[in-house]
Structure 1
Amino acid sequence: MVRTREGGLSTGERRVARALLADYPTAGLETVRLLAERAGVSGPTVLRFVSRLGFESYPAFQRRLLDELGERERSPLQAYTSSHSGEPRDTGGADLPGTAARVLSEAVRTTLEGLPAFELGEAVRLLSEPEHRIVSWGGRFSRLQSHYLVLHLMQIRGRAVALPDTPVERADLLSEAGRKDVFVVFDFRRYEAWSLKAAEEVSRREAKVVLVTDRWLSPISAVADVVLPVHVDSVSAYDSQVPVTAVCEVLVAGVMDSLEGLAEGRMRRFEEASRTFGLL
């Protein structure tokens, strides 16, 4: 909500937005006075910022943050038990495909329509710079999406790699992190501590961080250069990765459009190498 409305904020209100996102959601759970001090603005500016977001009062804004905190930490088991209360699960029978079509298509639509234009453009720009090395990693399930993105980038621009699994290989790759690297991190609720630590460290080394996360925002958002929020509504107790895949495909399309002839040339070389080495 903050990121999509940031363009319409005053200078002071943007300072409040940056202070909130830099320590989200903790900063918003402080008093008006403390949040104002963080942002270097007055108390009334904080209240105007909250009003711009559509809240009638600061306590209403904080109640929303507290609700988000509960949702951020929800596990699949908690989601299952809270929605079924111990009763046998009714999957909807023959209507399950129809329910999935409605829920998943809405999640994809809401995600893509809600992507902040500047953030998406910046992500495409960073991924399109030929001199940039692209490194991607994800979590329990989202690692699949990180590999999916990398496999496409390998073909259309090269210099893209998924973070290896073994500690030695990871240390080897991360030890070289620097300003010509772009790290695309996928981090979703029940956010992983190692991922935050790694993102903080590569950011400290002046690498760029593109974060793909859920709408509750991974703690990595505090150090990310670009944040792409995803609606992960699902028909099961597990957050859906379908909208995440859609965001990956948008990024791939954006990079291909940006690179134009360079992408075509790379794809031709990739196809030729595949045939030459019998990899097709």
Structure 2
Amino acid sequence: MTESVGVAGLVRERLGECSPSERRVGRALLAEYPSAGLETVASLAERAEVSAPTVLRFLSRLGFRGFPEFQRVLRAELAERQASPLAAYAAPEDGTAGPRSRAADVLPQAVAGTLGDLPEAELERAVRLLADRQLRITAAGGRFSTLLAQYLVFHLIQLRGNSRMLPAAPVERVDALVDVGRKDLFVLFDFRRYEQPTQQLARSVSERGARIILCTDRWLSPIAGLADVVLPSRVDSPSMYDSFVPALALLEVLVAGVVDKLGPAAQERLAAVEAVSQPYL
């Protein structure tokens, strides 16, 4: 289970099965993930304001045979989270399949795994938020994942409006953030070797009441502890770089969901956009 969704993903999946005191352990772990899990049992219990036996019962519910096993899995996951493309890459041996064959083998499985692992409740909540035209949507990502944010925003501009990328220029960025509040929804993209600016942005807008949809990998960005919705994707790749193909498939699902949710309103909006665009084409 942890191999497909990671420890944090497993915690999120199982919270609904837990007692109130066990849920406090899970939330304390997610709030400071993964560092809270690398402390002692007593320290984690203190964070969650529960007893040490409650911590151990919670870990047992997750399938761990004890705190040492939990920490071994967590440390191994942390090493994967921090791996650079060069460190993570295993070069194909001589005579093995070329890049096209590797891609044909790896990418369909990664897409199918991503879509199959998505919690239905999280997906439905994400679509509901994205289709709520009372919310102003702002998307942001990192060095590479900004491309995913732009892809989503270009669709949302056509389908519902009131959607934008977070500007890069400092003055424009301040203008975009100064009035953030409960009517704002941020869609953040943060993948392993997680980026501090994106995490700082998440903390800032969360403190001011904005909601967050997080698109991340199976190890889960630290933003997961702040997000209202967490949508993990696999990153299996035929090269040394993590693949965004599964994440792009996830965005296609979200766009299709928004189209279905908005119904005729999406078609009317798209028709209006096309009519205004004609003189500039």
TM-score by length of 1: 0.92
| Range with bigger deviation, 102-111 or 132-141 | 102-111
Please say if 1:132 is aligned against 2:135. Answer: yes
Is 1:159 the counterpart of 2:162 in the alignment? Answer: yes
Code of the residue aligned with 1:269 in structure 2: it is A
Give the 5 Å matches for 1:111-260: 111-260=114-263
Structure 1 residue 232: deviation in Å?
0.7
The whole-number CA distance in structure 2 between the counterparts of 1:70 and 1:93 is 27
8 Å contact kept, 1:36–1:43: yes
Residue identity over aligned pairs, in percent, reads 57
In the alignment, what sits opposite 2:40?
31
2:280 match: 278
- Cα distance in 2, alignment partners of residues 15 and 57 from structure 1: 18
Task: Note the C-alpha offset of 1:92.
Answer: 6.1
Count of residue pairs brought into register by the alignment? 272
Q: Which residue of 1 aligns with 2:12?
A: 3
Residue 70 (structure 1) shift: 0.9
Moved more, 147-156 or 166-175: 166-175
In structure 2, how many angstroms separate the alpha carbons of the residues matched to 1:105 and 1:16?
Answer: 36
Tell me how far 1:149 sits from its aligned partner.
Answer: 0.3
Question: How far has the Cα of 1:127 moved from its partner?
Answer: 1.0
Q: What is the CA–CA distance in structure 2 between the aligned matches of 1:33 and 1:94, rounded to whole Å?
A: 50
Q: C-alpha deviations, 1:79-109, integer Å up to 9, x for none? A: 23xx34xxxx548665432321221111111
* CA RMSD, 1 decimal: 1.7
Q: Call closer, same or farther: CA 1:167–1:91 in 2, change over 3 Å.
A: farther
CA distance in 1, matches of 2:229, 2:222: 13
Pair 1:28–1:79, CA change in 2 (3 A): same
* CA–CA separation in structure 2 for the residues paired with 1:124 and 1:92: 45
Distance 2:194 2:225 in 1: 13
Structure 1 CA distance for aligned equivalents of residues 49 and 253 of structure 2: 37
Does residue 19 in structure 1 map to residue 34 in structure 2? no
Q: Which contiguous aligned blocks of 4+ residues in structure 1 show a shift greater than 4 angstroms?
A: 89-95
Aligned to 1:265: 268
Query: Which one-letter code corresponds to 1:160 in the other structure?
Result: S
SS at match of 2:280: coil
Q: Could you tell me how far 1:210 is from its partner in structure 2? A: 1.0
Matched, 1:109 2:125: no
1:49 to 58, 83, 106: 58
| 1:4–1:114 Cα contact (<8 Å) kept | no
Output aligned runs, 1:85-96, within 5 Å: 90=93, 95-96=98-99
Cα offset, 1:250, TM superposition: 1.2
Deviation at 1:44, TM superposition (A): 2.1
TM-score (norm 2): 0.91
CA deviation after TM superposition for structure 1 residue 251, in Å = 1.1
Residues 3 and 116 of structure 1 are in contact (CA less than 8 Å); yes or no, is this contact kept in structure 2? Answer: no
CA distance in 2, matches of 1:240, 1:122: 25
Q: Matched residue of 2:76: which SS?
A: helix
Per-residue deviation at 1:278? 3.0
Aligned residue runs from structure 1 range 60-99, under 5 A: 60-80=69-89, 83-84=90-91, 90=93, 95-99=98-102
CA deviation vs aligned residue, 1:177-230 (integer Å, no higher than 9, x gap): 121110100011111111111111111111111111111111212222211111
Larger deviation, residues 99-108 vs 63-72: 99-108
Q: Deviations over 1:229-252 (max 9, x none)?
A: 111111111110001101111111
Amino acid at match of 2:209: E
Residue type of the alignment partner of 1:233: D
Return the match for 1:40 from 17, 35, 49: 49
Structure 1 contact 128–259 (Cα < 8 Å) conserved: yes
Q: In 2, Cα distance between the equivalents of 1:62 and 1:124?
A: 35
> Is there any run of 5+ residues in structure 2 with no aligned partner, and where?
1-9
